[in-house]
Chains A and B, each alone.
Chain A
């Protein structure tokens, strides 16, 4: 009798202690990563299905399990709409027990998902979106901004162009938070380096016809027509700028945000010679090339964009952080990520207190059709922009995590 009672007591104690251990371990017995991105709309080539593939590759390369629990990758389409992003994020966190949401291209969608993540205390890693407020005015403790931001673009592309002597600028800007932020950051750089902004025009996102905006830019006689837009809008602007005879004239088209996927869609004839800043380029190092080759095999021979490479790297480092911390609890993992330098062959740098991943950026120049050897060989690296130059200094940060003051 006493022995049976004792064994029940011991069994009960064992169960209780096991319960306590799993509260510290992996929630819901699996690590769930949700890729929330634009799967079929204007930003889908930048992130989209390629990002889902990258996350899956990372999960496989990590071994498929972490701390003995399986890794599950799911995905959802927010169509670059903020309201859809918020509801999908909530669905993923609450219904599907997702621990971390990855991707979030389109700044308005990213900010919406970050809001939900902050409320529910889950992690959001932003790879595709650009706006500086993500780690500045609108920062929160559960967000990491991984690949690039508007500050880097302004200090990469804009600084380089002003330095080369082109002082007068006209902005063609997408009328939402991303376009405004990019224009604002680039304007600061232009003014700081002795240039002058002579005019600007706003256009609705997803515009098809840029002729009237471009002709306004032409009449301004600015040396630089800067495009503060992205994806399909950038492609349309450049194509029609070529049609209107701006490309190759005294005025230069400077796309402030362009991806390798955009260059491939436009073709080298209309884009040759253009400079653009990226967080990662496949043809820069052997490690990059190796990853690109593996990615291409499952993606129709198309090399990964910087954002897709970022998804791979971020997923690997997130899983590593869980392993080291011994749990997938958001606070513990964030602490781990912000205190461990990253050097995984693709990216090298540190994640700062405000959530910004500080790493080198690359100023690329589009090759001429003659120079290009295959459909992925579209640019050469002009210069490496050191991490410190490409990231907003913490001393200027308006992030509440850095200043301690709610802005």
Chain B
């Protein structure tokens, strides 16, 4: 069907579109990671587990909540879950930050990494124990079912919705951090937290809220992902490695960098799947190695 170089233009465009969709996912996830690292200097390995937690909360709200509370018809619809799940996960992560992460800020990066990695394992282990590995199905919301046919390609509305939401969230976050007063406080807190505190700003509160917001972004991505991928305990660990590669390539700490890199890498991965599918999971890491060799701080990163 596909000769050596002659791939039909329609097939190519459809692959590019799909790559863009995946890329917006990577962008959203790596954004949360980049925010947390850029402003808190914490390498947040729990990101994947919190993404899974967001999807799980959405699924539990839809299918299990009624049974638990004794009102079988009670359901958390998808649209509410988009707000509720990030809130719940955000609160949960604030608890983590206040009880555990806080104590490690003064120490080496590695301790924060170890803690979050351990937490990720615990969270995933618990869910694996409760819900197994094959996971559960989450239905696409009725309003977004179906799609449109462009030549031979069928583009589901839901995937377009995901791209839209992801890009909106990315833009909103970038705007908030780079263009608002509160955002400037955040950025100041990174540069010189002592001085900021001396000026009367409650820096620990800002740090806590930032961590919560970054984790809420991960959960938001999880709810968006639930109807596309199976909601399983291991969905986070599959994705987190790629997301980290994206953040490293984009430059740890650069928000615009992670968004652009996420989109770009999604497209490149999509193209690899057309020309040499077996290499698709490797392609991102090959690029990561090349970028690290040429520009160690990442494409958009600043040397610290």
Contacts and interface: CB of A to CB of B under 8 A. Distances in A.
Nearest to B271: A212
Contacts of A44: 132-133
A215 B136 contact: no
B270 interface: yes
Interface centre among A40, A220, A246 (most CB of B within 10 A): A40
Interface in A173-224: 175, 198-199, 201-204, 206-209, 211-213, 215-216, 218-220
A265 B140 contact: no
B193 interface: no
B15 interface: yes
Given A199-B1, A199-B2, A232-B230, A267 B137 contact: yes
A151 to B, nearest CB: 25
A261 B154 CA distance: 29
Interface in A215-260: 215-216, 218-220, 231-232, 235-236, 239-240, 243-246
B278 A261 contact: no
Interface residues of B, number: 43
Interface in B1-55: 1-2, 8, 10-11, 14-15, 18-19, 21-22
Nearest to B147: A245
Q: Which of B132, B228, B238 is the most central at the interface, judged by chain A CB atoms within 10 Å of its CB?
A: B132
Interface string B119-132: 00000000010001
Given A208-B235, A243-B140, A245-B147, A213 B277 contact: yes
Contacts of B132: 44-45
A360 interface: no
A270 interface: yes
A265 B137 contact: yes
Contacts of B196: none
A293 interface: no
B281 interface: yes
B93 interface: no
B177 interface: no
Contact of B133 (A40, A203, A204): A40
B281 A202 contact: no
B232 interface: yes
29 contacts: A40-B133, A41-B234, A44-B132, A44-B133, A45-B134, A175-B278, A198-B1, A199-B1, A204-B277, A204-B278, A206-B238, A208-B235, A208-B239, A209-B22, A212-B18, A215-B14, A215-B18, A218-B153, A218-B154, A219-B152, A236-B230, A239-B230, A243-B140, A243-B159, A245-B146, A262-B134, A265-B137, A266-B137, A270-B137
Given A204-B281, A219-B1, A265-B134, 12 more contacts: A42-B133, A203-B277, A208-B239, A211-B18, A212-B15, A219-B11, A219-B14, A235-B230, A243-B156, A246-B154, A266-B137, A266-B230
Give 4 nearest A-B pairs by CB, closest first: A265-B134, A199-B1, A212-B273, A267-B137
